[in-house]
Amino acid sequence: MTHSDEITSFPSVTIGIPVLNEEAHIERVVSGFLSSEYPNLLEILIADGGSTDKTREIVLELASNDPRIKLIENPDKYQSFALNRMISLAEGEVFLRADGHCVYSSDYLEQCIDTLIKTGARNVGGAQRYMAKNRVQAGVSLATRSFLGNGGAKYMLEDYEGYADTVFLGCFWTEDLKKLGGFNTENITNQDSEFNLRLVENFGESVFISPKIKSWYYPRDTFFKLFKQYFRYGRGRFLTRLLHPKTGPIRGLIPFIFILLFSIYLALDLGLNVNLYSLEITILLLIILVIESSVLTIKKSKLFKGEIWRGEAKTPGMISNFITVFISLLLMQLGHFSGFLYQSIKNKIFNHSGW
């Protein structure tokens, strides 16, 4: 018996994929969904934000062989605009959001629909699993397994099953997406979390995570890109906090509050004619980070070799992973703090409400 045989209802499905320069992955992703056993896949919408590689040509070639594939123009480039354009055109009862560079389990679509129906949730998804092809990605993939790297977010825990404040990607009822106005276009990096908060505020517990829904994500492949990503995350979390001051998760505030208070403490120690032991405390914090990086590298070594590492080169050793985990954890915190601070200054001092 296939998994599709277990589903008692088969609502029509629209898959929406925002893309930008995904020539290396888009054919694999689309072909994977087309090979699904789910019997009511109505359409695959692909919103292109102005790709300069061969993404568009690949999509058009795929569309010429299957009319369910449709290329959508997204002149605004960002994902929130792409998603809203696809939502406005979606004909399926269910809207499954996908990314153009992830890897999905063969039963991803079936598991999403099964969970959506059985739980009665408004949005379902799985944990954000990571893969790595180079040393930086290896460090990031391991760092996200730490509380310092994930903030305790439930969607980062592979074995978690239950309700949460957000999920990775998501499978929604199209009617809900349209009713709530789609994704916030002023918040271009945290639009998924912001929309899920609106779901919870309107419907109560309605966002469900299932460990059976499996997909894998390649993180940023350089430290500069990682810092830039978390800088944008910090900006997005500030904007989400403005819109949802009561329901926004506290984990979005912790890096900013801690580093801000610590910075003030260091300034006081330097400015006052007293010893506040800032050097000793800084060393202590670095030691904690070293210990966390070491423990993480050792504890997750089997998982790293078996699931995370997908590179063609030799598998990085523990010393290499320790170094990249340490740097990744540090950059995640500093990037998030810097972005949150930048956006708060932009909003509070310069009265700029959006991105």
Strand partners, 304: none
- CA 190-159-131 angle, 5° bins: 60
Domain total in the chain? 2
Q: Does some domain include residue 63?
A: yes
pLDDT of 54 strictly over 50: yes
Residue 124: domain span: 3-219
Q: What is the pLDDT of residues 55-110, one digit of tens each?
A: 999 999 999 999 999 999 999 999 999 999 999 999 999 999 999 989 999 999 99
Judge whether 165 lies within some domain. yes
pLDDT band at 177 (very low <50, low <70, confident <90, very high): very high
Residue 353 lies in a domain: no
Q: What is the structure's pLDDT at 353?
A: 80
Distance (Å, whole) CA 117 – CA 7: 8
Please check whether residues 190 and 98 belong to one and the same domain. yes
Same domain, 15 and 77: yes
Could you tell me if residue 258 is inside a domain? Answer: yes
- Residue 98, class by beta-carbon neighbours within 10 Å (0-12 exposed, 13-18 middle, 19+ buried)? buried
Residue 77 domain-assigned (yes or no): yes
The reported pTM is: 0.91
Instruction: Identify the pLDDT of residue 4.
Output: 47
pLDDT tens column, 230-277: 999 999 999 999 999 988 888 888 889 999 999 999 999 988 878 889
Residues 134 and 275 reside in one and the same domain: no
Q: Which residue, 122, 210, 125, 215, is CA-closest to 174?
A: 122
Instruction: Note whether 208 and 253 are same-domain residues.
Output: no
pLDDT of residue 7: 53
Q: Residue 148 is part of a domain; what is its CATH number?
A: 3.90.550.10
Query: What pLDDT shows up at residue 249?
Result: 87
Is 228 among the domain residues?
A: no
**Tens of pLDDT along 281-302?**
999 999 999 999 999 999 999 9
Average pLDDT across the chain, whole number: 93
